[in-house]
Amino acid sequence: MDFNDNIIKEEVSSFVSSLQRLLPRKKEIIVIEPLKPKLIRLTDVHIEAKSVFPKCFIGAKLIILREVMNRVKLVQQYNYGKSKDSHRCYSQLINKEMEPKRSEDGLLIDSTGSATATYTESLDNNYEMRLTSKIRDLVSSETELVLEKETEKAIGSMTLSMNDVDPSTFKIVGQWMQQVLPELGVGAEVAFKPLSYPPKPDVSISTRYERESFALSSTISKAGFQICLYKQFAPDLRISTIVHENNRGSPPTIGIALHKDYENGSEMKIFVDSEKCGGFTFQKDVLFKEHSEMRVVRLVWSTLIDRQKRVRFGFGFNLDF
């Protein structure tokens, strides 16, 4: 058998290529990307624990959300009995807590005659500006301007708001949340009305420690303090506890809630607290087809036991067209 240099070079090259394919890539050995910390806004510092608690209501309620035109939505809400939630299972110590932070740009009109317009724009240096204007009637309005900046380890915002075009209601709220460790975050809020006399700023400090299925958060302010504990035992089972004490001399209140999801798309939320209140909500999504499109009707049942040991019921529909 004849051998020449070309055959030997091809065999050696093939052997080396086979070895290279078996070896891991160089960048997979040397480059290790650090874990990016999970950033959260100050207004969402207790979001897991408080979202477990149900929003109990009394009477009948019908909510219809319809998109009329591009970026124009119409909300129709009809109530028989109590028009608002009759029992709030937790208190709020932070400005705009548990409210949506990133509403879509456009116009939202509800059945009461009020209109809410939202405009968002991204600025230089990772700043975001969000302008929201709500007009309830000819003499009542709310205007809010939010400047927000997000960095690798912190989220800060400055909010300017005014009601009814009255300078005495002008309010400035500064919020800041810093991720000190991957599991630990510290935040603060400062709110004051510069045109009021004397201007007394309201200061609150919050901390948050979280793991994969566990979160412990707290807030202390002039209005009192609050401790929230959230634990997820299974993908479909969550439990939370909220301890709250105000500065009015009353004893602290303790509330415990459970949130259970079911395979058929329904969910149930139950709560009890130390003020001898309790209740639950049960909701189920019903799907139906209309003109080749899938529609969702959400049925909601509510039961509330108040401090006088009265049992009250509520029933509602949520329609999204």
Q: Determine the Cα–Cα distance for residues 115 and 136; give it in Å rounded to an integer.
A: 7
Q: Which residues pair with 186 in a beta bridge?
A: 178, 207
**Given this model, what pLDDT does residue 161 score?**
92
Q: What is the pLDDT of residues 203-229, one digit of tens each?
A: 999 999 999 889 999 999 988 899 999
Of 15-24, 34-43, 265-274, 308-317, minimum mean pLDDT range: 15-24
Q: Determine the Cα–Cα distance for residues 250 and 247; give it in Å rounded to an integer.
A: 8
Of 30-34, 221-225, 257-261, minimum mean pLDDT range: 30-34
Question: Whose structure tokens read 């019921």?
Answer: 313
Mean pLDDT of 152-158: 92
Closest CA to 202 of 97, 95, 42: 95
Mean pLDDT of 7-35: 50
Instruction: For residue 5, give every residue at least 6 positions away whose Cβ sits within 8 Å of its Cβ, in sequence order, or none.
Output: none
pLDDT over 90 (residue 53): yes
- H/E run at residue 9: helix 5-22
Instruction: For residue 232, give every residue at least 6 positions away whose Cβ sits within 8 Å of its Cβ, in sequence order, or none.
Output: 213, 214, 238
Closest CA to 237 of 254, 215, 209, 213: 213
Mean pLDDT of 56-66: 81
Angle CA(218)–CA(267)–CA(80) in degrees, nearest 5?
Answer: 90
Question: What pTM was estimated for this model as a whole?
Answer: 0.78
Instruction: For residue 182, give every residue at least 6 positions away whose Cβ sits within 8 Å of its Cβ, in sequence order, or none.
Output: 35, 37, 38
pLDDT band at 32 (very low <50, low <70, confident <90, very high): very low
pLDDT band at 17 (very low <50, low <70, confident <90, very high): low
**Given this model, what pLDDT does residue 117 score?**
85
pLDDT more than 70, % of the chain: 80
Q: Determine the Cα–Cα distance for residues 191 and 234; give it in Å rounded to an integer.
A: 39
Q: Which amino acid is at 127?
A: Y
Mean pLDDT of 100-128: 77
Convert 233-262 to b/e letters by CB count within 10 Å (16 or more is b).
eeeeebbbbbebbeeeeeeebebbbbbbee
CATH number for region 5-54+89-275: 2.40.160.10
